[in-house]
Amino acid sequence: MECVFGMVGKDFALVVADTSAVNSILVHKSNEDKIMVLDNHKLMGASGEAGDRAQFTEYVQKNVSLYQFRNGIPLTTKAAANFIRGELATALRKNPYQVNIILAGYEKETGPSLYFIDYIATLHKVDKAAFGYGSYFALSMMDRHYHPDMTVEEAVKLADQCIDEIRSRLVVAPQNFVIKIVDKDGAREHSWRRTTKE
């Protein structure tokens, strides 16, 4: 019962993900970080089958690093989103990855951005996005309370409202969540929302 969601504020982007590693009816782990830092100004939240998610996100992270190493400049968030979409599209015709991505980034020239990329290689630039069973509740809360000029405090408060709604309404709800932010100061972990210990 995974859940990953994100939103763009005035001068930042925020990504939230549950931290449970689940298989069938078993919870194997409750501190799995599903938001990968791609580089100093990019975050990638992923949901999907554990093996596909881990393999594909590491593959993307290493290729983004390789591009920067070879060329001396990092990929923009838009370029990284298109790279991810291209890799998913190529894999779709061979051995598809069951992974959905929310990519958040920040550039000095364009500011914050958020990209929705699903397992069939659909790519959209959005203000807010969500994947997983929790998306039904997160999207409805964001539809009601989101506005483009949100401050970090307002966005974290909205993320907390989404988390509370998921925990109270979803039958098998994930208990722990991690919140990460990317802005002019870089990509970083903001906080964890825990109800169970590690």
Helices (H), 72-198: 77-92, 135-145, 152-169
The residue extents of the domains of the chain are 4-193
Q: What is the pLDDT of residue 112?
A: 97
Q: What is the pLDDT of residue 20?
A: 87
Topology of domain 4-193, per CATH?
Glutamine Phosphoribosylpyrophosphate, subunit 1, domain 1 (3.60.20)
Q: Which of 1, 31, 26, 4 is nearest to 176 (CA)?
A: 31
Question: Structure tokens of 161?
Answer: 């409202």
Q: What is the three-class DSSP state of 190?
A: strand
Tell the burial category of 154 from Cβ atoms under 10 Å away from its Cβ (0-12, 13-18, 19+): middle
Which segments of the chain have a pLDDT < 70?
Answer: 1, 196-198
Q: What is the pLDDT of residue 27?
A: 81
Report if pTM > 0.75. yes
DSSP state of 76: P
* 18 vs 138: CA distance, rounded Å: 12
* 177 vs 19: CA distance, rounded Å: 5
Q: pLDDT tens across 9-25, in order?
A: 999 999 999 998 888 78
Q: What is the pLDDT of residue 196?
A: 65
